Structure 1
Amino acid sequence: MTHSIPQLRSVNVTRYVTPLREGGSMPAIAEADDQFLYVLKFRGAGQGRKALIAELIGGEVARALGLKVPEIVFAHLDSAFGRIEGDEEIQDLLKASVGLNLGLHYLSGSISFDPLVTKVDAQLASQIVWLDSFLLNVDRTARNTNMLWWHKELWLIDHGAALYFHHSWNDWDKPQRSFPNIKDHVLLAQASELTNVDEAFRAILTSERIRAIVSLIPDEWLTDEPAFESIGQHREAYIKFLETRITNSDFFVKEAQYARESLI
């Protein structure tokens, strides 16, 4: 079966609106030349291009699985953009981020998901827990849910902390990588349908689909990685990790189920 993976649009950033200082990487709301607002993730922030890669892969995998994710775009930042910024810290960030960054469509009027206020059904909770187990996403906890309630639907944001192994590439190709952080997942208690979700999601995330998603990563984000001799090897490593992870999904599904049993 052939799966269509949409290409990401490219926009030019025209106006820095306001920083979102609750984010560790100092994202910001910015306006682009298409007149839309975006939450801008900067290549010059603390985790650099790796956070953008994780954001791109995580968001597009979630979208492929049918979960709600704001549109992701490539956002170009001109070298002159930060010159009128008065805040020196922000000015330095903008200067370090000239070139290709990542933006997520700003969901105006959305509110942060509160698990005490909004209940998530078992199917959706299981889908999100499966996704975060698959991607090794450490950042979907009660303290920081990284989910928004918008137009009566749950939207997933901020996957920049996923795929954390790529900050060192140590043992990245282990077929069964433990993910103990799943015990802290905000939706784990409701995730009673993991086995059924695993079967459905394995059928969606074919090798063809994984390759199509990883192919979206710009070459310039894959340069200067000492663990690999070429951009091609670097890209293939992401593909191999995701393919190996999906092949061994029973391991992380059981890990999540055991963590859930301990929790409830």
Structure 2
Amino acid sequence: MIRTVHTTRYVTPLREGGSTPALVEADDDGLYVMKLRGAGQGPKALIAELVAGEIGRALGLPVPEIVFIELDPEFGRAEPDPELSDLLSASAGLNLALDFLPGSLAFHPLVGPALDPALASAVVWFDAFVSNVDRTPKNPNLLLWHRRLWLIDHGAALYVHHAWTDSTDPRADAADRFPLIQDHVLLPFAGDLAAADAALSALLTPERIAEIVAAIPDAWLVEQEPPVRLFGERRAAAPASAFEEAQPPPAPPPSAAARRAAYAAYLTHRLASPRGFVEEALDARARR
């Protein structure tokens, strides 16, 4: 079960990335890096963060604890920076957060403790499976904390879901080989990728995948575009024409359950043999 906490103090924005997450304190006295639903990529970035992060944790990889976090609208009204105020106001309600690792340092492949080849192989396999484009030398999204490697920021994973529509069959994307794995920061340090594939694929049963995607909140799956606003006010709808009034109402969007099932189907089919993403990683490793 993923815990739910409530924001009690907005500490500071974190401007390293493009989505401006926030360092906040919650009602359990913990500090968290909160990913905001109102940021540019919307709820799908939070879905990717949740699903990929929980898959990593299911594989035994060092991913900080993930929690749901409620943000009160008052935080947006109290923020003096207009840009941040708009972002916080658009994110009022349920968001996602990761446990803050105080004093952690950004990973650099040429600095710090030696990497375990088995761990490097596992991270490469995991990132290839979830199609994580953000683990490159320029943007590794790895931290060193207490001399241990930690994996953060998976909002760019599962990037294919941004192109899904209600008529898309996600299983058609499951065979993607993910050639971008050639740029993975840990690929030069990886050991036996075939052994990692055998061990990790056995941990991700269809039942485990279903448990992970079941945690996606309904609101993130069915959330629509926010209403258009002009100078802070809701824009009045134009009067409907006679032609528009004569048209049948649009079909309702698929339910949250249907969209959740799409994620489960995509991930389950991605695990089916032969796994092209593993072959791609092996080929990229051989070219080095």
Q: Secondary structure at the match of 1:101?
A: strand
% identical equivalent positions: 56
Where does residue 128 of structure 1 map in the other structure? 123
Q: How does 1:189-208 map to 2 (within 5 A)?
A: 189-208=188-207
Deviates more, 1:52-61 or 1:113-122: 113-122
Q: What CA distance in whole angstroms lies between the structure 1 residues aligned with 2:134 and 2:253? A: 27
Where does residue 234 of structure 2 map in the other structure? none
- On the 8 A contact 1:176/1:248 being kept in 2, the answer is no
Q: Deviations over 1:200-252 (max 9, x none)?
A: 11111001100001111111111047996221110000000110111136311
Where does residue 257 of structure 2 map in the other structure? 232
**How big is the shift at 1:102?**
0.3
Q: What CA distance in whole angstroms lies between the structure 2 residues aligned with 1:61 and 1:215? A: 12
Gaps of 5+ in 2: 225-250
Q: Secondary structure at the match of 2:212?
A: helix
Give 4+ residue runs of structure 1 displaced > 2 Å after superposition: 224-228
Deviates more, 1:220-229 or 1:205-214: 220-229
Where does residue 162 of structure 2 map in the other structure? 167
Root-mean-square deviation over aligned CA pairs = 1.6
Q: What CA distance in whole angstroms lies between the structure 1 residues aligned with 2:214 and 2:275? A: 26
Q: Deviations over 1:25-79 (max 9, x none)?
A: 1101011111111000000001110000000011110001011111111000111
Where does residue 31 of structure 2 map in the other structure? 37
Gaps of 5+ in 1: 1-6
- On the 8 A contact 1:228/1:234 being kept in 2, the answer is no
Deviates more, 1:226-235 or 1:87-96: 226-235
Where does residue 52 of structure 1 map in the other structure? 46
Deviates more, 1:243-252 or 1:23-32: 243-252
Larger Rg: 2
- Aligned-partner residue type, residue 181 of structure 1: L
Where does residue 107 of structure 1 map in the other structure? 101
**How big is the shift at 1:178?**
2.5
- On the 8 A contact 1:130/1:198 being kept in 2, the answer is yes
- Aligned-partner residue type, residue 68 of structure 1: P
Is residue 66 of structure 1 aligned with residue 91 of structure 2? no
